[in-house]
Amino acid sequence: MTSNNVTRFLDSKKVKYSAFELPPEKLGAEETALLLNIPVEQIFKTIVIVRQKGKPLLCLIPGNSEVDLKAVAHCIGEKKVSVPTQNEAEKLTGLQAGGISPLALINKGFSVIIDSSASHFEAVHISGGQRGLIIRMRPNDLQILSKAKYASIARKESETDV
């Protein structure tokens, strides 16, 4: 069983979770859902968002969605936000894409927004802070630990800006 900063953090906080080891290459949400035999809506991917000023933020959205930049900007009271390249996201977080997790970045100053759909599930699955490690936990625990706020920040990948 893989132990890392995220699992040690969860253990220290006495939070109930399950860890799943997957192949170490970067997998998409759909592939991860198939391997774990769960709906893709319960896989929450972490998207790094760059704001005009200040520290980037982390948005957790369902695996079958994309981040709604207008909704995120509105949520944080800014005019415009953007998604960095994978390379930039890795530099900003110090983590590999596919392993970026709000739990690995606790106390690093990142604000976290979780799409409100997470609150409908008993458990969600997020990155465990490294490729190949997925953590299943209650969304409420994730929200409390990451000091996140819930907001409607995702849209289905087929929806486009109007």
Query: Over the stretch 11-25, which tens digit does the pLDDT of each residue have?
Result: 999 999 999 999 888
Helix (H, G, I), strand (E, B) or coil at 46: strand
* Long-range contacts of 72-77, Cβ-Cβ distance < 8 Å, separation of 24 or more: 72/113, 72/151, 72/153, 75/113, 75/149, 75/151, 75/153, 76/51, 76/111, 76/113
Is 162 contained in some domain?
no
Centre a 10 Å sphere on the Cβ of residue 73 and count the other Cβ atoms it contains: 18
State how far the Cα of 147 lies from the Cα of 15, in Å rounded to an integer.
Answer: 15
* % of residues, the chain, pLDDT over 90: 87
Q: pTM of the full predicted structure? A: 0.94
Q: Give the count of domains, the chain.
A: 1
**Backbone torsions φ then ψ of 67, nearest 5 degrees:** -75, 135
What's the CATH number where 80 sits? 3.90.960.10
Is 60 contained in some domain?
yes
Is 16 contained in some domain?
yes
Does the pLDDT of residue 162 top 50, yes or no? no
| pLDDT grade for 3, boundaries at 50, 70 and 90 | confident
State how far the Cα of 128 lies from the Cα of 141, in Å rounded to an integer.
Answer: 14
For the chain, report the end-to-end CA distance as a whole number of angstroms. 46
Q: What is the pLDDT of residue 2?
A: 72
Is 111 contained in some domain?
yes
Is 160 contained in some domain?
no
Is 133 contained in some domain?
yes
Does the pLDDT of residue 83 top 70, yes or no? yes
Q: What is the pLDDT of residue 64?
A: 95
Which residue in this structure is represented by tokens 């949400």? 29
Is 161 contained in some domain?
no
Centre a 10 Å sphere on the Cβ of residue 100 and count the other Cβ atoms it contains: 26
Domain that holds residue 44: 5-155
